[in-house]
Chains A and B, each alone.
Chain A
């Protein structure tokens, strides 16, 4: 199929990751909020992981698109 699945995966996780990073950074001083996650700012940390994962997916999709234009003439979104 013409659409490379890595684009939506990459964009979505990068977006959610960024959201968590921003939210985590904004609430970093809120110790009560992070009592649940054992005093760890899990939003910030896990947000970075998601952001990284999204970036890897996007890099792969971008590389694939550059090296071989998709068959059938359809351009990936």
Chain B
């Protein structure tokens, strides 16, 4: 594969960014006086900063790469991850849940669980959360280090370790504030770095209408581009809702509308946005209650518009590949380096075999689906006069027809960016890589220090001691993420594995919070066993179901396949729905059967009915969370209507 060459101007941009994020860490160092400064930014940050950090912590490298991949695979319906799967939950967090998180003075989401219920729920949540953050950060780092290796020819290990070192340096110095500030920097970097790429792509394909016209052809014959082995109605890639209404077989996601709206739009989305400390921590760092509540609302504005930046590139790539404009094709999956030797031998042997048998042997040696014509041509040419090893390799790679969707975004950057802009776009990608990791590391170090270390291992130590611990665990967290990065490289579409982990841990969690915050009768026993039951339900569900086309094992069904879903995404959404329902029913039942251990007075500030309402009337109407929330939801409805 041809690697992208970076020039001096590109490296200068990259270095400027790196110097600034490290500089921010050092500049903030002198403000880190107490552990609260380090873990909570001293609760002193203005709302627009926490708001952009909130959205930026979510917009990691995985999101950028994965959403472009999904845009290519599924088309505009991918926007449901934004308009259905994010905005309503963000509004709910701001209007209803933030008062309890911020008002209870809990320092983390697990600590809220301790205040509301007891130590057990907190312990369960903090351990699962800590493991998840490390994994999330490891997975995204692996994905990006791999991309850098394939497209820039950078050394995988070196990319991984250098980026980690930069993150470590600035988080170590400036704690959460460093992470938040660099997230804001990253936000602008991504918006300003990718806008020209999308603009050029859109201009190149001849505008929106030309694109949807081509996508209509693609939808009827997606097999031509190896997107799917089915065929769909013309609007399958260019309409957000119509393909869903036709049932799972009418859309490339293979998802039914109930799984989409309830599984993604309610369970997964509320579970992520309302209970995931990674994002909630940003809002908790806001300077006052009103700023904390505005944080998710400010974040919702860019979130609503991001599909244009992250999903559209995938759709553009498919359009370009269909018309094969300037020889563009979707990036093929790479042949494993160990497969070349047997594949080249199969090509050499192929001359003496029947064409079908020869094609099959080469395909088996490569391990990926190949183009029959290209393999036949290669065998014939090699037989006529032996080709050089490197030529054979290039030709074999070229013959691969399976798509590497995660490479889509970089393939566009490569196509459209001259030196200069190239540096900017790649820096944006690297920035999202690093700040995504910083987000995970700061959430991890806070939960570890406050919810595990201080709670169970070393209580009653001095504040300076916990701050020291925070710095130590920051180093450990970065090292663990690196270990996870080496560990994780099994899934084609990066988004799916994250969804799966969400399903296990986060889906039942929202039921616990919902009942805990809005039903004073929920007991500690109910919450703990309900949550445990919900998580076990996810695991059991995963063990008993499978997505069509997958072999039982890592992707489910290892305890016998009771049900087969049309796609992995449908399996994930339904898993979340089941886990949530199980947790909800168990918590309800057990709470009714057990005695309350906390009095109404204990629960003041923690439960909706027992907490005095916040008077929003003193604020200007355009600052009131409820008003802003309604405006945002209306905007979201309009967007869904436009792209219906």
Q: Are B9 and A46 in contact (CB under 8 A)?
A: no
Bound-state Cα–Cα, A77 to B30, Å: 12
Report the minimum CB–CB distance from B39 to chain A (whole Å).
13
* Number of interface residues, chain A, beta carbon within 8 A: 31
Also in contact, A16 and B41, with CB within 8 A (given A9-B184, A23-B420, A36-B415) = no
Contact mask B254-273 → A, CB, 8 Å, 1/0?
00000000000000000000
Q: What residue in chain B is nearest A76 (Cβ atoms)?
A: B27
B185 interface residue, CB < 8 Å from A? yes
Contact mask B179-198 → A, CB, 8 Å, 1/0?
00100110010001000100
Stretch of B11-19, B66-74, B553-561 on the interface side: B11-19
Q: What residue in chain B is nearest A34 (Cβ atoms)?
A: B418
Report chain B residues within 8 Å CB of A3: 24, 27-28, 31, 181
Also in contact, A20 and B424, with CB within 8 A (given A1-B44, A42-B418) = yes
Report the minimum CB–CB distance from A28 to chain B (whole Å).
12
Report chain A residues within 8 Å CB of B416: 36-38
Report the minimum CB–CB distance from B414 to chain A (whole Å).
9
Bound-state Cα–Cα, A38 to B3, Å: 21
Q: Are B181 and A16 in contact (CB under 8 A)?
A: no
Instruction: Say what secondary structure dominates the interface of chain A.
Output: helix
Q: Are B184 and A1 in contact (CB under 8 A)?
A: no
Report chain A residues within 8 Å CB of B424: 16, 20, 46, 50
Q: Report how many A-B pairs have Cβ atoms within 8 Å.
A: 93
Report chain A residues within 8 Å CB of B602: none
Report chain A residues within 8 Å CB of B415: 36
Q: Are A36 and B417 in contact (CB under 8 A)?
A: yes
A59 interface residue, CB < 8 Å from B? no
Report chain A residues within 8 Å CB of B196: 37, 42, 46
Q: What residue in chain B is nearest A53 (Cβ atoms)?
A: B192
Across the interface, A50 reaches (CB within 8 A) one of B27, B192, B203, namely: B192
B234-279 interface (Cβ within 8 A of A) = none
Bound-state Cα–Cα, A20 to B424, Å: 9
Report the minimum CB–CB distance from B599 to chain A (whole Å).
38
Bound-state Cα–Cα, A8 to B200, Å: 29
Contact mask A1-27 → B, CB, 8 Å, 1/0?
111010011011101100110011001
Bound-state Cα–Cα, A40 to B201, Å: 13
Also in contact, A43 and B41, with CB within 8 A (given A5-B49, A37-B200, A53-B192) = no
B42 interface residue, CB < 8 Å from A? yes
B177 interface residue, CB < 8 Å from A? yes
A37-71 interface (Cβ within 8 A of B) = 37-38, 40, 42-43, 46-47, 49-50, 53
Extra pairs beyond A5-B49, A33-B418 (12, CB < 8 Å): A1-B42, A1-B45, A9-B184, A16-B17, A27-B418, A33-B419, A36-B417, A36-B418, A37-B421, A42-B196, A43-B420, A53-B192
Interface set of A (CB-CB < 8 Å, partner B): 1-3, 5, 8-9, 11-13, 15-16, 19-20, 23-24, 27, 33-34, 36-38, 40, 42-43, 46-47, 49-50, 53, 74, 77
